[in-house]
Chain A
């Protein structure tokens, strides 16, 4: 009888202990911050390569392109598409978005591109604080779904899905028309700093693009 009682007591203690595990930090859900930070490593200077797959309404097959980027958290982002179409867009942190056409840098008067630029800057730079201000974040294993919190963004953007597969980060931007733009960062090199000279040396983007972003 005493042994039975001891056994019952052990069971009870075990249940209590197991219940208390979450309080001790075991088995608890990972906080969102950590998950997003894992998917999008925070960095101030980086360069890399990307491939882009666009699924557009009215086009039967996905549109593929590839290119390179240079990012500076205090200057902005150069987004250079190398093929099949050559195009460079410069998304500075302040001022107008610029485009390089046939070697000539020209401003792009487009509020839409300015918004896109802001989002890309934050995603490439892993600025999770900003992202969490603009988006409601839902994280799963190796995946995060961002939905715009505010009407101005939600007017043209439905969701951003960030996934990590085989060491590669995929950013899938879905718009309201069931179209999507999927960017796969195939390579991202974090740098200690990037300036005009370094940008030029990287030879990933045109010299004029480096000059447009990094010149004082």
Chain B
């Protein structure tokens, strides 16, 4: 059997290697994409695809913006500091001052092109209700008023200043740099501050892009601070969190990987005292991970970095196969090797059955991990079968001390009733569960998955007290059949909110609705349909206008309404989200000013059709909650499938014992979580799959290789130690998602090991044999 399995493994391995190499050559190594976007860890919002895409785009663009708060007690010093800061932002290539002036100029130009359709509602009301003298007075006011000191529009096109008035109103609402230095009462006398916004030159907010530019920004700020020690500088922005996470992840992953690798290598060298012993596990892991990477990438188009990290961890189970092979394989010992082959096959099959439950997960990262691990594990097992006989040596294992300890342990554990262990652990867990209110402590908030630097959080809080910007994570979604329908939704919501409507910024702040534009055009008939009034203005005030031309233009431009698409093109900063056209439906978003009453907005939106309040954070939290619940149910499914598999292949008593191993491990781990108030998230739930896989491996080997119990248990011990070094150390990671995974495996696998020793101690051998 081993020979046929070996031959098959060699064949499959060669075929996969060739296929993988061809794939790499055809695709080109540079086309392999590793997605480091942290946003992929949280599920897609429950929004229509077009809106989801637009929100993602906006989030990316907004994530590239860093807000800088400069503050100080002396106004003059702050002015000088601001000058230097502006120069710094102009000179640095990695970031630039966010200046909305350009897009505002094109916006104003656009309004002028449709000037017969643009005016405020108040101006329209005035025009409609005024006589000729009133209309002249209106022009005089717009000309002579102190408020008309600086015009945005050309008088020749806009003699009444109606478009100018509209544009000035809009300019007040568009967020931009608070260019002025403002004062506030800091509690200990007046203080001064200014807010500036920088756009970083990043691709998207990922670990890679933020990595390069953010350190440059910090360095430039540090230099700036040295020149202006009395000015405080605070920064806020998603890119800063990304860079901080990247730095923490890099150092963590490097440390953990190094310690893990060194530990495993030393352990294997200690026991086998031969470099050959390292070859088989290393080949299994690297070939398994490599081929899994190639084929998973083909399937998904790009892989997330967490897929590679966690997927590779799951493949680490393959080290067990290599260890068992090295420990147990003996050339020309057919019966012995047959048992080993069976055990290995059972083990890999149960792990694949267990991981396959994740294929049905809602989060794409989890599906990627499942596919990556299944392929990797299969390949790793094939490597062990194919290369094991070649690399296995019958040298002495230097494990006498370990064997004595294990021998003693087995003799003690032989007296521990297994069913008591099973019932006891489950009972303790259930007691703790019900004491804790029949629920597991959990935290599905997205922030629980990231490492949030408290210093950055504090700076953000400080900046938010001054910032006039918009909420990034909350908005109101409007849906309609056409443009006017969207404006009607806006109007309904604003009526409902009353004065609180000031908290919102929408399309209606930048252009009149189609209906309003028609009304504006009708109102402008009083001003432009005949040149008479224009001629009066020309004569009385010396306006340099062409009355006849304007009148003719008015008549010709009857249908030249300003469209939303034209507005989108003119506005660069918020344009993508103010209007989203999805063939059958139109969508528009309303931005919410920071510091607004979100509950009020939510309640108001709930009472209206086609108006939805949306919070990205809340939605992500709901999604992560449901995904965690799903993972927990899938885990039960996995246990059921594995149990069914066990009962199919093994006698019932043996099948029950084997199936009980991961159940005990999970119960004890959950008991720990409840007692230590560890708040579970999706990654805790996911790690249980690995605990199940490892537990079944240990149990199957302990049971199947009972004739060489001590060798089997020694190999299991080595496996458990390598698992501790590779997974358990993840518990020390600064990334909460990774440490959650590691902690679960650390506790769970320790239980697996202990319970497997019990099985080994209590399973009688089929026959006594001398190895």
Chain A residues with CB under 8 Å of chain B are 54, 56-61, 63, 65, 79, 81, 84-85, 87, 89, 94, 99, 108-116, 133-134, 149-152, 155-156, 173, 175, 177, 179, 181
With an 8 A cutoff between CB atoms, is B145 at the interface?
yes
Contact with A along B126-146 (1 / 0, CB 8 A): 000000000000001101111
With an 8 A cutoff between CB atoms, is B544 at the interface?
yes
Whether the pair A85, B140 counts as a contact (CB closer than 8 A) is yes
- B146: chain A residues within 8 A (beta carbon): 79, 81, 87, 89, 113, 116
Interface locus among B75-83, B336-344, B664-672, B711-719: B75-83
Whether the pair B144, A63 counts as a contact (CB closer than 8 A) is yes
User: A85 to B83, alpha carbons, bound, how many Å?
Assistant: 39
- A149: chain B residues within 8 A (beta carbon): 83
- A54: chain B residues within 8 A (beta carbon): 144, 149
Q: Decide yes or no: A111 and B172 within 8 Å by CB, A63-B143, A87-B145 being known contacts.
A: yes
Give which listed residue, A56, A60, A89, contacts B143 with CB less than 8 A. Answer: A56
- A57: chain B residues within 8 A (beta carbon): 151, 154-155
Q: How large is the interface on B (under 10, 10 to 19, 20 to 34, 35 or more residues)?
A: 20 to 34
Give, as a whole number of angstroms, the nearest-CB distance from B120 to chain A: 13
With an 8 A cutoff between CB atoms, is B147 at the interface?
yes
User: A112 to B104, alpha carbons, bound, how many Å?
Assistant: 15
Whether the pair A116, B144 counts as a contact (CB closer than 8 A) is no
Whether the pair A110, B168 counts as a contact (CB closer than 8 A) is yes
The dominant DSSP class at the A interface is mixed
Whether the pair B82, A60 counts as a contact (CB closer than 8 A) is no
Whether the pair B149, A181 counts as a contact (CB closer than 8 A) is yes
Whether the pair B82, A56 counts as a contact (CB closer than 8 A) is no
Whether the pair A152, B144 counts as a contact (CB closer than 8 A) is no
21 A-B pairs within 8 Å (CB atoms) are namely A56-B155, A58-B155, A58-B156, A58-B545, A59-B542, A61-B542, A65-B144, A81-B146, A85-B145, A89-B147, A99-B147, A110-B147, A110-B172, A114-B180, A150-B83, A152-B179, A152-B180, A175-B150, A177-B150, A177-B151, A179-B151
User: A122 to B213, alpha carbons, bound, how many Å?
Assistant: 42
With an 8 A cutoff between CB atoms, is B86 at the interface?
yes
- B155: chain A residues within 8 A (beta carbon): 56-59
Closest to A94 in B: B183
Give, as a whole number of angstroms, the nearest-CB distance from A125 to chain B: 16
Give which listed residue, B76, B154, B180, B545, contacts A111 with CB less than 8 A. Answer: B180
Give, as a whole number of angstroms, the nearest-CB distance from B514 to chain A: 26
User: A149 to B76, alpha carbons, bound, how many Å?
Assistant: 12
- B542: chain A residues within 8 A (beta carbon): 59-61
Among A65, A87, A152, A177, the most chain B Cβ lie within 10 Å of the Cβ of A152
Whether the pair B140, A150 counts as a contact (CB closer than 8 A) is no
- B159: chain A residues within 8 A (beta carbon): 58
Give, as a whole number of angstroms, the nearest-CB distance from A138 to chain B: 19
User: A81 to B140, alpha carbons, bound, how many Å?
Assistant: 13
Whether the pair A115, B154 counts as a contact (CB closer than 8 A) is no
User: A84 to B180, alpha carbons, bound, how many Å?
Assistant: 33
User: A84 to B540, alpha carbons, bound, how many Å?
Assistant: 13
Whether the pair A85, B144 counts as a contact (CB closer than 8 A) is yes
User: A170 to B545, alpha carbons, bound, how many Å?
Assistant: 30
- A115: chain B residues within 8 A (beta carbon): 180
9 A-B pairs closest in CB distance:
A58-B155, A60-B542, A152-B179, A61-B542, A85-B144, A58-B544, A89-B146, A133-B76, A58-B156
- A63: chain B residues within 8 A (beta carbon): 143-144, 541
Whether the pair A151, B179 counts as a contact (CB closer than 8 A) is yes
With an 8 A cutoff between CB atoms, is B101 at the interface?
yes
User: A65 to B141, alpha carbons, bound, how many Å?
Assistant: 12
Whether the pair B179, A84 counts as a contact (CB closer than 8 A) is no
User: A99 to B76, alpha carbons, bound, how many Å?
Assistant: 30
Whether the pair A84, B140 counts as a contact (CB closer than 8 A) is yes
Closest to B502 in A: A109
Whether the pair A150, B156 counts as a contact (CB closer than 8 A) is no
Whether the pair B543, A60 counts as a contact (CB closer than 8 A) is yes
- B150: chain A residues within 8 A (beta carbon): 112, 156, 175, 177, 179
Whether the pair A58, B154 counts as a contact (CB closer than 8 A) is yes
Among A56, A94, A109, A112, the most chain B Cβ lie within 10 Å of the Cβ of A56
Whether the pair B544, A151 counts as a contact (CB closer than 8 A) is no
Give which listed residue, A56, A79, A109, A113, contacts B151 with CB less than 8 A. Answer: A56
User: A59 to B543, alpha carbons, bound, how many Å?
Assistant: 4
Q: Decide yes or no: A108 and B544 within 8 Å by CB, A84-B140, A151-B179 being known contacts.
A: no
Whether the pair B543, A58 counts as a contact (CB closer than 8 A) is yes
User: A57 to B152, alpha carbons, bound, how many Å?
Assistant: 11
- B154: chain A residues within 8 A (beta carbon): 57-58
Give, as a whole number of angstroms, the nearest-CB distance from B549 to chain A: 14
- A85: chain B residues within 8 A (beta carbon): 140-141, 144-145
- A175: chain B residues within 8 A (beta carbon): 149-150
Whether the pair A59, B541 counts as a contact (CB closer than 8 A) is yes
User: A23 to B143, alpha carbons, bound, how many Å?
Assistant: 54
Closest to B79 in A: A133
**Docked complex: B76-131 residues within 8 A CB-CB of A:** 76, 79, 82-83, 86, 101
Whether the pair A59, B144 counts as a contact (CB closer than 8 A) is no
Q: A59-B155, A65-B144, A110-B147 are in contact. List 7 more A-B contacts (CB 8 A).
A: A57-B154, A58-B543, A59-B542, A59-B543, A110-B168, A112-B168, A175-B149
Give, as a whole number of angstroms, the nearest-CB distance from B153 to chain A: 10
Give, as a whole number of angstroms, the nearest-CB distance from A81 to chain B: 7
Closest to B144 in A: A85
User: A158 to B59, alpha carbons, bound, how many Å?
Assistant: 38
User: A177 to B543, alpha carbons, bound, how many Å?
Assistant: 16
Give which listed residue, B75, B76, B147, B151, contacts A108 with CB less than 8 A. Answer: B147
User: A84 to B143, alpha carbons, bound, how many Å?
Assistant: 11
User: A133 to B74, alpha carbons, bound, how many Å?
Assistant: 12
Among B154, B542, B545, the most chain A Cβ lie within 10 Å of the Cβ of B542
- B143: chain A residues within 8 A (beta carbon): 56, 59, 63
Give, as a whole number of angstroms, the nearest-CB distance from A130 to chain B: 9
Whether the pair A116, B544 counts as a contact (CB closer than 8 A) is no
Give, as a whole number of angstroms, the nearest-CB distance from B343 to chain A: 75
Whether the pair B147, A84 counts as a contact (CB closer than 8 A) is no
Among B140, B143, B144, B543, the most chain A Cβ lie within 10 Å of the Cβ of B144
Give which listed residue, B83, B101, B140, B144, contacts A155 with CB less than 8 A. Answer: B101
- A87: chain B residues within 8 A (beta carbon): 141, 144-146
- A112: chain B residues within 8 A (beta carbon): 149-150, 168
Closest to B180 in A: A152
